[in-house]
């Protein structure tokens, strides 16, 4: 229980943080850990917004959501209108409300938070609005006012592709999405654990697109099942939104072809179990094993928390910097610690230890931060003579992702040095006429909310292109 500043200047005592299942209970399964708020709780939380006049929360949101407006409407018992306002700027409010790192974005910029109080739990209200909307039939089907003859082929059924498809279909364009997987959703389905995002939440968005006339061609990988040239011949415009999936590899003595597990493979196997797929040979399982996860981002947090739920004997996370410099959500770190994960801060993997073909541990160097120069990130250096070993039966690499070699592209499709697709400064147009790109394929590995933003913006540019037949081509 905490003191809360309410509008009008009075103080009351009430809980202000998200309600979660106990660590012991949530570690037994893969359901979402946040307890959905009641209508009364959601309205009280929304009423904590001070209407500060300068919407720092909105400015910190990649989608520029009208957060103060829909918080006020929620507080005034107008959830349907609040949902309508939230939907104006986002095609996936109920998804972003669950998985955005609000502590680094809107809630981190909340005036209450900056003043030393707990922030309004914006994400929980946003997710609550979405659930209310679907439960009560407020989510309107896509029924364009007029059908247009132009066709758009979208490569990738992840957040950028789904967001673009939503906006384009609403404008009446004929949209087909191609994806390598057997289900639509991309990382929303196969990369993010169910305890953060249950799969029915994603599926109902996909179902809305299908009901609205969007076509899906699944199990189709561009470069294998179809070429980019063929897609360009088939559609008036092509949008490349296939994300980045190539894992970055640990470079250390002792690492062999089968000595480590890629984070995405590990997460995909568990997500397939949650979806009811039959168990396959080679699926990774941590039950009874000592697990070491290398990395400090949100994917690493997903891996350690999945290992806990699989019944691992122990779970340790190695990260080369300290807690304050960790790239992942601070909220996720707290959740992992509550669930029994051990963090070794300032610990960089130095070598993998093994006996025969079996990994037995990770040798790590203890690191320390150097004094940083003004405006620069502090570097890290090893502490002499401070190496230590962490026992391990499974070592999971969660070091981030890079763009895959895009074998399907034409020679004139220009890429940046890091392999991401080069686009115009504002248009999302590539160097190929009629081909656009958005999301992680352009930004590199980033947040889902940024993929949604870019998918929506790319759709707006494609709409403009069809109506004006002009485009800013990437130089």
Taking residues 117-144, report their average pLDDT. Answer: 96
The pLDDT of residue 453 is: 98
Distance CA 227, CA 229 (A): 5
When comparing pLDDT for 156 and 8, which is higher?
156
Is 247-401 the same fold as 2-136?
no
pLDDT band at residue 371, thresholds of 50, 70 and 90? Answer: confident
Q: 367-388 burial, b if ≥16 CB within 10 A, otherwise e?
A: beeeeeeeeeeeebebeeeeee
Lowest mean pLDDT among 12-26, 184-198, 272-286: 12-26
Q: Which CATH superfamily is domain 247-401 in?
A: FAD/NAD(P)-binding domain (3.50.50.60)
Residues of the chain with pLDDT > 90: what percent?
80
Pairing of strands 151-155, 174-179: parallel
Residue 380's pLDDT band (boundaries 50, 70, 90)? very high
Instruction: Kindly state the average pLDDT of the residues 363-389.
Output: 91
Q: Is the pLDDT of residue 14 over 80?
A: no
Overall average pLDDT of the 360-389 stretch: 91
- Taking the domains of the chain in order of start, what are their residue ranges? 2-136, 151-244+403-468, 247-401
Annotation: CATH topology of 151-244+403-468: FAD/NAD(P)-binding domain (3.50.50)
Find the mean pLDDT for residues 77-94: 97
Mean pLDDT across the chain: 92
pLDDT at residue 34, as a whole number: 87
> Which secondary-structure segment (H or E) carries 353?
strand 347-355
pLDDT surpassing 80 at residue 76:
yes
- 303 band by pLDDT with thresholds 50, 70 and 90: very high
Pairing assessment for the beta strands 358-369 and 347-355 based on DSSP bridges: antiparallel
Overall average pLDDT of the 318-342 stretch: 93
Dihedral of the alpha carbons of 326, 330, 335, 340, in degrees to the nearest 10: 30
The reply to whether CATH 3.10.25.10 applies to domain 2-136 is no
Mean pLDDT of 175-180: 97
What's the rounded mean pLDDT across residues 403-431? 85
Residues 28-50, mean pLDDT to the nearest whole number: 92
pLDDT tens string 239-259: 999 999 999 999 898 887 788
pLDDT of 40 higher than 90: yes
Identify whether the C-beta of residue 169 lies closer than 8 Å to the C-beta of residue 143: no
Using DSSP, state whether 107 is helix, strand or coil: helix
**Comparing 28-32, 44-48, 64-68, 284-288, which segment has the lowest mean pLDDT?**
28-32
Strand partners for 13:
3
- Give the confidence band of 1 by pLDDT, cuts at 50, 70, 90: very low
DSSP three-state, residue 20: strand
- Beta strand 246-247 pairing with 401-402: antiparallel
Instruction: With a cut of 60, say whether residue 10 has pLDDT above it.
Output: no
Q: What is the mean pLDDT of residues 142-159?
A: 97
What pLDDT is stored for residue 4 in this prediction?
A: 38
Least Cα distance to 4 among 103, 113, 129 occurs for 113
Q: How far apart are CA 467 and CA 461, in angstroms?
A: 10
Q: List, edge to edge, every strand of the sheet that includes 174-179.
A: 215-218, 174-179, 151-155, 237-240, 435-437
Cβ contacts of residue 26 below 8 Å, gap of 6+? Answer: 20, 33, 195, 339
According to the model, what pLDDT value does residue 9 have? 39
Predicted TM-score (pTM) of the model is: 0.92
What's the average model confidence in pLDDT over 44-68? 94
Residue 71, CA atoms < 13 Å, CB-side half-sphere: 26
Q: What is the pLDDT of residues 384-401, one digit of tens each?
A: 999 999 999 999 999 999
Residues 80-113: b if buried by 16+ CB within 10 A, e if exposed: eebbbbbbebbbbbbbbbbbbbbbbbbbbbbbbb
């Amino acid at each position: 229980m905490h003191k809360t500043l309410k509008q009008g200047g009075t103080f009351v005592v009430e809980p202000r943080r998200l309600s979660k299942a106990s660590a012991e209970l949530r570690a037994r399964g893969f359901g979402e850990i946040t307890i959905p708020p009641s209508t009364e709780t959601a309205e009280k939380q929304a009423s904590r917004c001070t209407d500060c006049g300068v919407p720092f929360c909105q400015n910190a949101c990649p989608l520029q959501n009208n957060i103060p407006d829909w918080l006020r409407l929620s507080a005034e018992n107008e959830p349907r209108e609040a949902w309508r306002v939230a939907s104006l700027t986002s095609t996936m409010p109920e998804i972003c409300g669950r998985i955005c790192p609000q502590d680094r974005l809107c809630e981190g910029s909340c005036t209450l938070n900056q003043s030393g109080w707990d922030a309004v739990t914006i994400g929980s209200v946003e997710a609550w609005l979405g659930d209310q909307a679907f439960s009560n039939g407020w989510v309107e089907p896509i029924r364009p006012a007029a059908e247009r003859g132009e066709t758009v082929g979208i490569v990738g059924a992840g957040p950028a592709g789904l967001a673009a498809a939503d906006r384009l279909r609403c404008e009446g364009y004929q949209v087909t999405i191609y994806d390598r997987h057997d289900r639509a959703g991309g990382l929303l389905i196969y990369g993010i654990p169910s305890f953060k995002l249950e799969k029915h939440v994603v599926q109902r968005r996909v179902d809305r697109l299908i009901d609205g006339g969007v076509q899906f061609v699944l199990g189709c990988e561009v470069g294998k099942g179809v070429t980019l040239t063929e897609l360009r011949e088939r559609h008036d415009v092509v949008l490349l939104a296939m994300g980045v999936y190539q894992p970055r590899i640990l470079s250390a003595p002792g690492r062999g072809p089968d000595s480590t597990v890629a984070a995405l493979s590990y997460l995909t196997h568990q997500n397939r179990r949650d979806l009811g797929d039959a168990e396959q040979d080679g699926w990774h399982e941590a039950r009874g094993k000592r697990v070491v996860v290398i990395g400090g981002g949100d994917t690493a947090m997903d891996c350690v928390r999945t290992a806990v739920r699989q019944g691992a004997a122990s779970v340790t996370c190695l990260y080369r910097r300290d807690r304050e410099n960790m790239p992942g959500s601070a909220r996720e770190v707290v959740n992992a610690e509550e669930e029994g994960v051990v963090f070794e801060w300032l610990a960089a993997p130095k070598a993998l230890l093994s006996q025969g073909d079996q990994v037995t541990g990770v040798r790590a160097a203890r690191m320390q931060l150097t004094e940083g120069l003004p405006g620069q990130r502090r570097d890290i250096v090893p502490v002499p003579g401070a190496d230590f070993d962490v026992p391990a039966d499974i070592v999971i690499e969660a070091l981030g992702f890079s763009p895959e070699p895009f074998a399907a592209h034409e020679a004139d499709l220009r890429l940046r040095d890091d392999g991401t697709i080069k686009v115009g400064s504002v248009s999302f147009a590539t160097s190929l006429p009629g081909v656009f790109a958005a999301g992680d394929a352009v930004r590199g590995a980033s947040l889902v909310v940024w993929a949604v933003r870019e998918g929506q913006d790319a759709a707006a540019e494609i709409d403009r292109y069809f109506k004006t037949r002009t485009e800013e081509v990437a130089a």
